[in-house]
Structures are given as structure tokens and as C-alpha cells.
Structure 1
Amino acid sequence: MPPQDLSRVPNAALPSKSSVAIYRFPGGGGLLWAVATSADKSLDFVGQTRATLAALDEHLRRAGVDRNRLVRAEVIVTDHDNKPAFDEVWASWAVDGHGPVRSFVQSVMPEGDLIEIIITAALPEPV
């Protein structure tokens, strides 16, 4: 039986992997973890970055929170030389003064993926 304080949104392509996981603390609040890539693999790096951030916005929206609640972001790319382009897109997406702790690393990725972003967001206590 799955734990009642933990919910998951399975990845449609790989049901043993979650796209979103939410843990609710006893007494309220919690954490959300989400991962996204661009659905359109034909886009260039900047296009995939924007599409990935839009997918993360949707995960946040479904959880009832926004970018102000982000506490951590892990950015995985196929080419570290894209960091300046990423930073430019990120600066227009992230909330000034409320940006999460962020890492940016290069890795081998599945064919067509140029970027993957994993976020952690703090969920507020219910009102």
C-alpha cells in the first residue's frame, strides 16, 4: 500500500519513474519534486530551455504553487558551453530575490534532449 503522505505522478513513458512527487509533512506543508525536459526535441537549446521551464510551471501550477516557492534546481545539459544562454533565459524566468539554489552540470542525455531540469519547491501549510 502506498504511503498516504506521499503522492506521485508517474512518467507516462516509464511508469517506474515519477515526473512529480509530493511529500506532505505531518501538520501541513511539504515538498514537491518535479523533473522536465522539452517535449519538442527539434528545438534548439534556448527553445528546449523555454519549453522545459514551461513544463515545470505546469507542474507547479497543478500543485497550487508558483516560482516563489522554489528552493532548489538541478540543471543537466549536454553542453556546458550553453550556460550563458541558459542564464539569460533563467534570469527572465526566475523570480528576482527568490531564486532557488541551483546547479548546472553537463551529462550524456537521451538522443534529442539538450536539457533536463529537476526542481524542489516548498509547499505551504494549508490555510
Structure 2
Amino acid sequence: MRPITRFPGSVAGRSSLVVFNGMVFTVATADTYELDMRKQTAEALAKIDQFLAEAGTDKSRLLSCTVYITDMALKPQMNEVWDSWVDMRNPPQRACIGATLEEGDLIEIVAVAATKE
């Protein structure tokens, strides 16, 4: 049986990512609330890149992303950053959902990727 590998997060009780059975699961938000949607998106996606690298994989192996947005009117700004970040040769399935997030967060991204094993 394969072990579940949990990478410690910056908040007690939360992992930054979990690897199990060839799959990587992670969630990212921006750390700075004063940022606008473009900057929060860029910061969250940079964290996704970092977490995937820690798991030994990268965004070309993304399977799906669920993007939670506090204000769907800001989705075009998020899309600008997403389109410049995503691997267009290997785009993941993506869903965008309007949600109430922690105060100051404009975006939260849940990502699932395959490892390179």
C-alpha cells in the first residue's frame, strides 16, 4: 500500500499539498489581501507552481483546477493571468465558482495533478 505524503502548510491543521497514489492535491491563495485580482491570481498560481515542484511535478501534469472567486465580475482579470500562466499544450479541466472566501481573499485555487512517476 502506498503512503500518503503530506507537506506541512503555513497554517496549523492544513497541508500545503498531499501526494497519494500518483496524484497531487493542493490549494493556493494570495498571502497579501491588499492585492487586486490580477496580483492575487498571479501569487496563487506561483504557489501552485511551487507546490507542484515540491511534489516533483509541474503544471503540464495538471488534471483539474477549481477556481473560487468572490466577485465573478473580476473573472476576466483572473482569465488574463491564467491565460499567460497555463500550459496551453496541456490545459487542465477548469471550473470557476462564485464563493464567499475569507475576508480579503479574492481567489482560491484548488489543483489536482499527476506526479511524474
TM-score w.r.t. length of structure 2: 0.93
Shift of residue 91, structure 1, vs aligned partner = 0.7
Structure 1 runs (4+) greater than 4 angstroms displaced: none
Unmatched segments (≥5 aa) in structure 1: 25-29
Which amino acid is the alignment partner of residue 19 of structure 1?
Answer: S
Match of 1:114 in 2: 106
**Which one-letter code corresponds to 2:26 in the other structure?**
A
C-alpha RMSD of the superposition: 1.4
Q: Are residue 11 (structure 1) and residue 9 (structure 2) matched? A: yes
What is the alpha-carbon distance in structure 2 between the residues aligned to residue 124 and residue 52 of structure 1? 22
Count of aligned pairs between the two proteins: 117
- The alpha carbon displacement at 1:10 in A equals 3.3
> What percentage of aligned pairs have identical amino acids?
37
- 8 Å contact from structure 2 (residues 25, 112) kept in 1: yes
What do residues 17-50 of structure 1 show as CA deviations (whole Å, max 9, x unaligned)?
32211003xxxxx000010100111111111000
In the alignment, what sits opposite 2:94?
A: 102
**Structure holding more strand per residue:** 1
Could you state the TM-score of these two structures normalised by the residue count of structure 1? 0.86
Query: d(CA) in 2 for partners of 1:53 and 1:62?
Result: 14
Structure index of larger Rg: 1
Partner of 1:82: 74
Q: Counterparts of 2:19 and 2:111 in 1: how far apart (Å)? A: 12
For structure 2, the 5+ residue unaligned runs are none
